[in-house]
Every structure is written in C-alpha cells, then in structure tokens.
Chains A and B, each alone.
Chain A
C-alpha cells in the first residue's frame, strides 16, 4: 500500500515568487492536512480538507491557500514568498478525518527554501 507522497521533495524559490506543493494521500483516505514545521515554531497547522471541503484552517495569512481534488489529492499554494516561509511542509492523510482508525499518516515533506 503506497504511503503519502509529497512532491517536490526540495524546492528553492526567490522572495516574491509563488509556489505550489502537492500531496497524494493513501488510497481511500479522504482527509488531508497540511503542517508547517520550523525550528522556532515547531509544527503548525495550516489547513485540513475532507472530501474537497476545507474543514479547518490555522492562523496563517491569506497568502497560504489550499485545495483538494475529487481524487483526494491536495495542493497548497503560497504566494508572495517571504524568507520566513522557509520550512518543511508536511502533509498527512487519514481515512476518517479524526485519526481514530489508523491515525494520521505523514509524507516525507517538502523542504522549501526561500532566498
């Protein structure tokens, strides 16, 4: 059974550019969550999608957005990149959306560096 796949694995962007990250959940999982991980702030929740609907959103500026497609794949977009957006972005999938069943399965992340 394939795990959660995040692409690309590494990314270098320039300030002011925009970036799109992709996450393919485990087959059959309908919930996808996104997290930003930095040494200073730790793991911070960005948003969660369930069956193409955004169910919850963290405290991030509007430059951060996401969406989920009918096949449950999800993308997140960051516009007008800032140096502080450099982080490891993690995606997690869950079948029930609560983690009660098998917990949340995380991908390996996308390492974004903004220069």
Chain B
C-alpha cells in the first residue's frame, strides 16, 4: 500500500523567505511523486512531478523538490515566497502498477505575510 504524510496543516512565512513544505511517502515499489497546488474554489494544478529521472525536479512558479529515497521524502521548496504563493499544497504518490491510484496527503495551507 502507498501513503503520503504531510506534517502540519499550516505553514506561515514572510514574503521573500524560504518556503519548505514537507512530504514523506510510503511505497513498497518505486513511486511516482507529485506536488499540486489548489487556490480557493479551483481545481488542482500540477507544480512538478518525479518519475525516476533526475532526483531534483524543477516545477512551475520557481518551485522545486528533491526525491530522497533513503529518507522517503519529497519536500517542496521555493527560495523566495511571493504573496501569490498563498494556497493549499498537496503531495501525492502513485506506484508504477497499472492498477495503482494517485494517493494524496492531507494538504498544507501556505500563508505568506507581507
């Protein structure tokens, strides 16, 4: 079985500060990993994905994430937060099996202070 843990439900940073959103996964087989962002009253938008190529993945809007197999982690970072980054962020995992499913973490709400 696969699962995702996103510790904490809310992170608050100052504008211009580093953003770090943590994600740990559990999977018995090599996973595909994703980060999605959701703005109020909207669907989910893909930020980036790991599919067993480079372990450091760059996404949209200046976000990046590093796959660390030894730590079973896929933390999301952005060097400098912008007010427009305030949203809810979801980490998700899917295994390579054809009958696997995309499993989401509980999500983290990011607030950005002026």
Contacts and interface: CB of A to CB of B under 8 A. Distances in A.
Interface residues of B, number: 23
Interface string A32-73: 010100000011010010000001101000000000000000
B100 A56 contact: yes
Given A4-B43, A45-B103, 15 more contacts: A33-B102, A42-B104, A42-B105, A42-B106, A43-B104, A45-B101, A55-B98, A90-B44, A92-B102, A98-B96, A98-B100, A99-B51, A103-B46, A103-B49, A107-B43
B53 to A, nearest CB: 10
B89 interface: no
Interface string B73-114: 000000000000000001000101011111111110000000
Interface string A1-16: 0001010000000000
Interface residues of A, number: 25
B98 to A, nearest CB: 7
Interface of B: 32, 34, 36, 42-46, 49, 51, 90, 94, 96, 98-107
Contacts, number: 57
Contacts of B102: 33, 45, 92, 99, 104
A2 B98 CA distance: 26
A100 B32 contact: yes
Contacts of B42: 108-109
Nearest to B47: A103
B80 to A, nearest CB: 25
Contacts of B106: 42
